[in-house]
Amino acid sequence: MKLLLSSIINGAEHSVLVDPRDTLLELLRDRIGLTGTKEGCGNGNCGTCTVLMDGAPVNACLVLALEVAGREVETIEGLATAGELHPIQSALVELGGTQCGFCTPGIVLSAKALLDANPTPGEAEIRQAIAGNLCRCTGYGKIVEAIATAARRLKA
């Protein structure tokens, strides 16, 4: 059995038929084709599927698709506007904060949630904000540096 679901994804309304067993991650990747959100573990431990639900970071693999009915979801595809990268994205590009790239979309969204709430985070706050996002390539240093740089640029 499929159910009809409506929600706002990256600012546009989507009405989709979903299986009640589908997660938000499956809704995004398999039903709507937004494959920028990745699946690293499927049980909320790695953070690669982080998206923003009503502005707050969630693991899309732990949210049922039906839970987002009537709510706003922001994914990595919604961040760059008119081809302009978000400052978090451009700082990651410049400073070498993305390697294999599989964790990057989730990290970008965790960082965005942080900077939306706290425009002047210290290093400890940045590390805390991305502590739910595993990265196996960078050792985190360049990511932390990029988020700090983006915060400075957003404030300026």
Partner 1 sequence: MTPEPAREKEQSFKVIGKRLARVDAKERVTGEACYPADLSLPGMAHAKILRSPLAHARIRRIDTTRAEALRGVLACVTAADFPAVPLGSTIPMGEVGYDMWMVAAINMARDKVYWVGQPVAAVAAVDQHTAAAALALIEVDYEPLEPVLGILAAMAPEAPVLHEHVFTKGVEPRPKTPSNVCSRVLIARGASAPALAEAAASARLRVEVDTAHQGYLEPQVALAQVDANGFATVWASTQGQFTAELMIARMLALPASKLKIVPLEIGGGFGGKIAIHGEAVAVRLAQKCRRPIKLVLTREEVLQGGSGPAAGAVIDVAVAAERDGRLLAIEGTYRMDAGGLPGLSPSLLMQASAALYQCPNLHLEGFDVVTNKPRTEAYRGPGGIQAAFAVEQAMDMLCQELGLDPLDFRKRNAAVTGSTMPIGTPFPAIGLTTILDAVGRHPSWLDPIGTGAYPRGRGLALGYWRGTSMTSAAHITIAGDGRPMVTMGAVDLSGTRSTMAQVVAEEFGLSIEDVHVETGDSKSVGYSDGAAGSRVARTMTAALVEASADALGQLRSRAAEKLQCAPHLLRYAAGVFRAPPPGSAAISLAELMQATLTDGAVVGRGVSSKLPLGVEIGAHVCDVEVDTDTGLVTVLRYTAFQDVGLALNPTAVEGQIEGSVVQGLGWALLEGFDYAADGRLRNASLLDYRMPTALDVPRIESVIIETPVPNVPYGVRGVGEVPIVPPAAAVANAIARAVGVRVRRMPMTPERVLAAIRAARAQPH
136 near partner 1, judged by CB under 8 A: yes
Helical H segments across 65-122, by residue range: 87-95, 104-117
- Strand 72-74 to 3-9 pairing: parallel
CA distance 144 to 120: 13
**Using the rule CB under 8 A, which residue among 63, 76, 113, 150 binds partner 1?**
76
- Report the alpha-carbon distance of residue 7 to residue 24 in Å, rounded: 11
> How many residues touch partner 1 (CB under 8 A)?
58
Which residue type sits at 31? R
Q: Identify residues 30-69 at the interface with partner 1 (CB under 8 A).
A: 30, 34-43, 45-46, 48
* Binding flag, residue 114, partner 1 (CB under 8 A): no
Interface residue list for partner 1 (CB under 8 A): 19, 21, 29-30, 34-43, 45-46, 48, 75-77, 79-80, 85, 88-90, 92-96, 98-105, 108, 126-128, 130-144
